[in-house]
Amino acid sequence: MRLLRIGWHGGCTEDYIHREVVKRSPLPLVLLGDQYYYFGKYFKTNFFTANEFCRAHGMSLLSIETETENTHILKYLGEKRSDLGQEGSFVWLSTGESMNFTYWAKSEPSNVGNNEHCLEIWNLSVNRYVWNDRPCANSYHFICELPKCSFHCIS
């Protein structure tokens, strides 16, 4: 990736620019590990509107790629992922990548009613969260993540 340095003077590092993006964000971003997240806990919406909201703010819907990231998120709360492209084959919308880490509840994903294509983090019991598939049109809280190299970078 190359840095797009519009309005920045030479010598700026990607880390510096990323910190400036975070500082100027109108949303309350939360740092978990080395990643920034926005937890959409103030309103519920469907998968499609959540995706639009994240994109409009230079972020993407959450993609949990490691057990460590999952642990950080589960301590906070969250949702969403999709198998709309090919039934039974969940991919992260933000990256197009297949899941290489999962945390499904027992017997999940179940696709009840042939209509469950999005992922939620489900509160199974007190402080016990697992993944579950749900209908994408239903309204839930959501999580956006700020890419390590955001709108200030190009490939």
Comparison of pLDDT for 93 and 37, the residue scoring more: 37
Q: In the chain, what are the domains?
A: 2-154 (3.10.100.10)
Dist. CA 81–CA 133, nearest whole Å: 8
DSSP secondary structure, 45-111, as one string: E-HHHHHHHHHHTT-EE----SHHHHHHHHTT--EEEE--SSTT--B-TTT-PBPSS--BPTT----
Residue 89 pLDDT? 67
Residue 53 pLDDT? 93
Q: Is the pLDDT of residue 49 over 90?
A: yes
- Range of weakest confidence among 36-45, 60-69, 146-155: 146-155
pTM: 0.69
